[in-house]
Structure 1
Amino acid sequence: MPNGSTGRGLRSRLPLVATALTLVTTLSGCGLLGGSDDETEPQSGGDGKLEKTNLTVSIMTPTDLAPFHLAMQEGFFEDEGLTIKYVEAPSGGESVAKLASGDADISYSSYTPFFLAESQGALNGKGGVKLIADASSAGPDSCVVVALPNSKVKSIKDMAGAKVAVTARKTISDLLVMSTLKTNGVDWKSVKFESIPFPKTADALTGGQVDAAFATEPFIQDTHKRAGAVTLFDTAVGPTANIPTAGWASSGEFVEANPNTIAAFQRAMQRGTDLALSDRSLVEPLLVKFSKVDEETAKLATLLTFQSKLDPARLQRVPDLMKEFEVINTDLDVNDMIVPTAPLT
């Protein structure tokens, strides 16, 4: 995995603004930025001495890693006394598994694998799943279902019995599709979901492997350009409008042992989110660099909504929806999982 140093080029030119409204980018990559794997002596960071300065963070390829990568690029983690090594997981379930195995201190995932793991007690031996930062929510036209013009699926009413590509089962992708189908009176239980990574969605459509596919950016644009797909319907409407899609978590054991380190990570992520929200032009180069899309795709992408602070009322919608669609069979109270956001100093 490539190594590099955190940069500070944009910080002197752009003010940080309050976390609000829109943006997000689909990023991929596996790298180590800003230091070695060796533990160093704790440093002073923010409002307390850091218990751990070198963190391994699991990331993925969905559409809301811009704040993280900007925080890396601008040295916000370094400012907090943190050195970050990030590794890529192929799915949310794999990212959460890295917490359970101890291969990651902090993991990014869509929310459904976090809540699924908590409902199954996957991290009970490590104090359970603790949510430490928000990442994104679904804005209009940011999470859609696409199909080829010659597909048997011409509209949402044709979805019963269709084969549909999603990143993985029991994730936000199939949950959003099922909820939207139910809202429109379509038999969601008859849909056959196929687990296909976003980068392979266009090929799955053109190869006839699926009739339709769930996509976020830049893969909405990718399916349009490479496969000639068209958007059939938006899944972030009605009951799922603005629903939280992804976030960051650690184990209860790690949070309890490293409160100042977690607070430092939260502050760096808030600053990264503020910077990403301040100017879309800062986000588009990251799409090109980390997601390997062309500049035109980066400019056309309909972006998700960045978030950083965890809101219990918003987040509760996710496990409630998961129980409604039989992804989990227990009630979860997100208040028991949330770590309060550290204030910026």
Structure 2
Amino acid sequence: MPRRSRARSVVLTPLAVLALLGPTACGDGAQPDAASPEELTEVTVGIIPIIDVAPLYLGIEQGFFADRGIEVSTQQAQGGAAIVPAVVAGEYQFGFSNIVSMLIARDRGLPLDLVAIGARASEDVLDDGSGQMMATDASIGTVEDLVGRRVAINTLAGITEVAVRASLDAQGVDADQVQFVEIAIPDMPSALTGGQVDAAVMAEPFTTLAARDGARPLPVSYAAMNAGAPFAGWFTTETQAQEQPEVTQRFTEALEESLRYATDNPDEARAALDEYLDLPDGIGEEVTLPGWDPTIDEDQLRRLAELTAEYGFISSPDVLDDLLAG
């Protein structure tokens, strides 16, 4: 039987995020670096409640973190833009975010270090488990029909907006003619059926839930932006990495083992969704899984940095060098 470390989950509210941006934003949240054999070092990890973070829960269940003396608590947030300030403030020791939010934070002088790739796009522009545009309106049959429409994304100026802009540009559609609406991913299926938005870029398992309600995919996705490439990752701060190097190393090793285990055991990864999501029966068996190779490849990340700079969210693609410096 694998040993388990307890995973406690708390939802981060918008007011809590705002509070974290106050005077404590340069705190390090330091804890003892090494745990005794009898004790587990507690770390708090900020996550988004989507399929991409399933390996973390699977690794907790398999005992990969406990075996390295770490007890993981999780806190849920709407997107990487909310998780980044919480990690910088020391409220969390580690976080999951899209790479774009990390690049923006680094460009603004926030000391983030990427420790592992967290998810990769699929090779299918119509079936990307982490970022796929879905629409229910019968009048939207092609990407040209998105002009003047409302499109839901989980956070503005993040990976999804970059992906939509890149996908539309490649197909000759002016993304500035699309109205972006910020909606949490779990709320997107109901926003579609309720008519709040005309299309939504969502992640599994909510893509499958939306499809059950009649939503159809459009060729706007993370895969359409950069097929097979990494778009999200796990990160910490320079302070955490420098002041608690052993904890950071042990966490990273456990995380990498979790990601590889999820890759090799997809059915278990699907089952792990029930650890942090309340889903109808059978959904986990239908979802499209992302790629979970944790290897950091600078060449693969460079294209995303170039797009992020092209759309004006960072000053230069060279910001990537700072993110990878740790």
- The answer to whether the 8 Å contact 1:40/1:54 transfers is no
Match for 1:169 among 145, 148, 156?
156
Over 3 Å counting, the alpha-carbon distance change for 1:320 and 1:284 in structure 2 is same
Counterparts of 1:41-60 in structure 2 under 5 Å? 42-43=34-35, 53-60=41-48
Q: Which residue of 1 aligns with 2:76?
A: 88
Q: Which residue of 1 aligns with 2:219?
A: 233
Confirm whether residue 326 of structure 1 aligns to residue 305 of structure 2: no
Distance 2:319 2:313 in 1: 16
- The answer to whether the 8 Å contact 2:259/2:292 transfers is yes
Q: Which residue of 1 aligns with 2:18?
A: none
Greater helix share, structure number: 2
Tell me which stretches of 4 or more aligned residues in structure 1 moved more than 6 Å.
none
Match for 1:203 among 190, 193, 199?
190
| Paired residue secondary structure (1:213) | strand
Distance 1:289 1:269 in 2: 17
Q: Which runs of 5+ in 1 are unaligned?
A: 1-6, 11-27, 33-38, 341-345
Distance 1:268 1:167 in 2: 28
Over 3 Å counting, the alpha-carbon distance change for 1:265 and 1:148 in structure 2 is same
- CA deviations on 1:126-185 (whole Å, 9 max, x unpaired) are xx11111111111021132111143x3221121222210111111111211110000000
Percent of residue pairs identical: 25
- The answer to whether the 8 Å contact 1:149/1:230 transfers is no
Confirm whether residue 248 of structure 1 aligns to residue 253 of structure 2: no
Over 3 Å counting, the alpha-carbon distance change for 1:200 and 1:178 in structure 2 is same
Match for 1:8 among 2, 19, 32?
2
| Paired residue secondary structure (1:87) | strand
Distance 2:220 2:78 in 1: 25
Q: Which residue of 2 aligns with 1:132?
A: 115
Q: Which runs of 5+ in 2 are unaligned?
A: 12-30
Q: Which residue of 1 aligns with 2:22?
A: none
| Paired residue secondary structure (1:145) | strand
Q: Which residue of 2 aligns with 1:305?
A: 291
| Paired residue secondary structure (1:305) | coil
Q: Relative to structure 2, which stretch is displaced further, 158-167 or 290-299?
A: 290-299
For the aligned residue pairs, the C-alpha RMSD in angstroms reads 2.6
Match for 1:296 among 267, 279, 282?
282
Over 3 Å counting, the alpha-carbon distance change for 1:250 and 1:9 in structure 2 is closer
Q: Which residue of 1 aligns with 2:96?
A: 108
Q: TM-score, normalised by structure 2?
A: 0.84
Q: Relative to structure 2, which stretch is displaced further, 311-320 or 106-115?
A: 311-320
Distance 2:316 2:33 in 1: 42
Structure 1 position 29, deviation (Å):
8.0
- The answer to whether the 8 Å contact 2:120/2:291 transfers is yes
Distance 2:181 2:225 in 1: 24
Structure 2 counterpart of 1:222, one-letter code: L
Match for 1:191 among 174, 178, 182?
178
Over 3 Å counting, the alpha-carbon distance change for 1:331 and 1:41 in structure 2 is closer
Distance 2:192 2:33 in 1: 52
Counterparts of 1:140-179 in structure 2 under 5 Å? 140=124, 141-142=127-128, 143-150=131-138, 152-179=139-166
Structure 1 position 41, deviation (Å):
8.0
Over 3 Å counting, the alpha-carbon distance change for 1:315 and 1:159 in structure 2 is same
Distance 1:298 1:271 in 2: 22
Confirm whether residue 269 of structure 1 aligns to residue 263 of structure 2: no
Distance 1:313 1:101 in 2: 30
Structure 2 counterpart of 1:219, one-letter code: F
Distance 2:34 2:275 in 1: 32
Q: TM-score, normalised by structure 1?
A: 0.80
| Paired residue secondary structure (2:250) | helix
| Paired residue secondary structure (1:267) | helix
Distance 1:321 1:307 in 2: 22
- CA deviations on 1:12-44 (whole Å, 9 max, x unpaired) are xxxxxxxxxxxxxxxx98269xxxxxx678337
Count of aligned pairs between the two proteins: 300
Distance 2:147 2:233 in 1: 31
Over 3 Å counting, the alpha-carbon distance change for 1:251 and 1:300 in structure 2 is same
